[in-house]
Amino acid sequence: MKIYRLLTEEDTSAFCHKVSEALSKRWELYGDPTYAFDHANGIMRCAQAVTKEIDGDYHPDMKLGQQ
């Protein structure tokens, strides 16, 4: 089964590290990254969707970051 995550972070190297860590755990990029200005905090935010094939069924209590 395929599971989905949306990684988000402030537009700093921390975002790149978060995506790189997911890729090292065999997550795959899904679509293009997106950027948006966070008016409340005056910063840019990034988002990247990732997917991964896993054995078994999806459960809402899964810790997707630990997959």
Chain length of the chain: 67
- Alpha carbon distances (Å) from 66 to 25, 38, 45, 62: 9, 28, 23, 8
pTM, two decimals, is: 0.86
Task: Work out how many domains the chain is built from and give that number.
Answer: 1
Model pLDDT, residue 5: 96
- Sorting pLDDT into bands at 50, 70 and 90, what band is 64? confident
pLDDT of residue 9 exceeding 80:
yes
Q: Which two tokens stand for residue 18?
A: 């978060």
Closest Cα to residue 7, out of 66, 67, 65?
Answer: 65
Average pLDDT (54-66) is: 84
Task: Provide the residue range defining the domain that includes 44.
Answer: 2-66
- Here the CATH number for the domain that contains residue 57 is 3.30.70
Average pLDDT (32-45) is: 96
Q: Give the contacts of 9 (CB within 8 A, at least 6 positions apart).
A: 15, 18, 45, 46
Model pLDDT, residue 39: 97
